[in-house]
Structure 1
Amino acid sequence: MKKRISGFDGPVITESSYNDIGIPMQQESGDIWKAKVAMIGGGSCKWTLSAVSLGNAYIDATHIGKDLVSGTAVGVTLAFDNDASRNGQFTFSTGDLNISPKYYPHIRKRKIAEKTKSLSLLGKENILSYRVSKLSNIYLLPLS
């Protein structure tokens, strides 16, 4: 929760707030990476997880071309409550979620200022969005 003043010298309003944190994936075996994310927290604020984003991006692209830098990431957004999914562009899902988007590498040449080349992943939809309930496991199996 956060507190803010409504208007100039107005009343103090308490409302839900967001804190972004990054949780690194741990390599389990081979191409399997795993992370556990808490959905309900303790402490005085009694927080709950509103949404999570899973992303894929190139970290090191030198095996594809010389002087390539990492570009944009693609991924999946999972909303667990109405606050996170209020724009309405989420597909509803329950139970385990198996996602297999197809991504393609894309090299972009920038000629403005520093003349760099970046390697990004692109797909039919760069961001997939799901409104989930009764979720237990998420399996993201990107194809390239």
Structure 2
Amino acid sequence: MVKPIAPLKGNTGALRSAFVLGALFFSLSGCRQDYSLSPPTDSEKITVTVKLPKELKTETMWVMYRSATCKSIGTGASGQRTERDGHHSVYKELERQGQSDLYQVELPKDGGGACRWHLANVTFGVEYADPARFGESVTFGVGGGVVVIFDDNNSPRGGANIKVEGDLMLKEDYYPWVDEEFLGAYKKTINLASKGDMYLSYRAMQARIVYFEPVLHSEFLVSSAGPKEKKKGNHTTFTYPDGSVVADGRSKPDFRKLQAIRLAAEGK
């Protein structure tokens, strides 16, 4: 809220100056009085659905709205004043649909409010529900994430690798990847290895339905162990489901190799 200016007794010039400064401050800050979302009842909805494998759980969804009305004011490297669209984040849990394996959330495209918010992007994904099943003190690491951008801006995780026309329907293969790191503090994580980055990014400006089906190939586990000594030529060693061991400088598993091992085992 904009605070009222206290009366300035016996000083009309000061009062006038304070009023002008207050008006200027208000104009520069846009709708500073109310940044809240207030979606209209007839707002078009975007539905995000995840088909969840039994070993995984959904992550909390990060939803970002943007506003060209309420600017975010900052300072550039040279001290100059900068302006960019304001942003407003909310966090949503996807809700299970009955007793099915479908989890869903509906998001208003028009965020409304004095700032005229619009839905800009969402970040969501899946992770292991019980990392400890892979060993004591094992935690979830990375993988299984999706970013969908609905406007011309980048998301907090950058831009999009793929542009999609219409609705976005994703079905992706994932493999369990257990990684051990020895340099610095020891840690062991369970990750989800996929074909791309740990967050798959899409720009889908016309999408009204986003469907994500992660297919988890639990029986094809790949493990890796980082070097114990920081020395030239020491690389992370990967052990694949067929028993092959590779240390070729990669920082994550060879997805094509994993696919080939699985397809050969399945006789495809």
TM tier, smaller: 0.7 to 0.9
AA in 2 matched with 1:101: E
Aligned-partner Cα distance in 1 for 2:130–2:186: 19
Deviations 1:18-54 (A, max 9, x none): 3333211111133111111222111111111111122
Which of 210, 215, 218 is the equivalent residue of 1:138? 210
Map 1:122-137; keep pairs closer than 5 Å. 122-126=193-197, 127-137=199-209
- 8 Å contact kept, 1:58–1:71: no
Aligned-partner Cα distance in 1 for 2:90–2:96: 19
- 8 Å contact kept, 2:167–2:204: no
Query: What displacement does 1:140 show?
Result: 0.2
Question: Is there any run of 5+ residues in structure 2 with no aligned partner, and where?
Answer: 1-70, 217-268
Corresponding position of 1:33: 103
Deviations 1:87-140 (A, max 9, x none): 764322232221011111111112245433111111011332221132121110
Which stretch shows the higher mean deviation, 13-22 or 115-124?
13-22
**RMSD of aligned C-alpha atoms?**
2.3
Q: Percent identity?
A: 24
Indicate the structure whose relative CO is greater, using CA pairs within 8 Å and at least 6 residues apart: 1
- 8 Å contact kept, 1:78–1:132: yes
Which stretch shows the higher mean deviation, 95-104 or 15-24?
15-24
Query: What displacement does 1:60 show?
Result: 1.9
Where does structure 1 differ by over 4 angstroms across 4 or more consecutive aligned residues? none
Question: Is there any run of 5+ residues in structure 1 with no aligned partner, and where?
Answer: none
Does 2:149 correspond to 1:75? Answer: no
- 8 Å contact kept, 1:72–1:121: yes
Change (3 A) 1:63 1:39: same
Change (3 A) 1:134 1:105: same
Aligned-partner Cα distance in 2 for 1:104–1:18: 35
TM-score by length of 1: 0.81
- 8 Å contact kept, 2:154–2:160: no
Which of 81, 84, 87 is the equivalent residue of 1:18? 87
Aligned-partner Cα distance in 1 for 2:74–2:159: 27
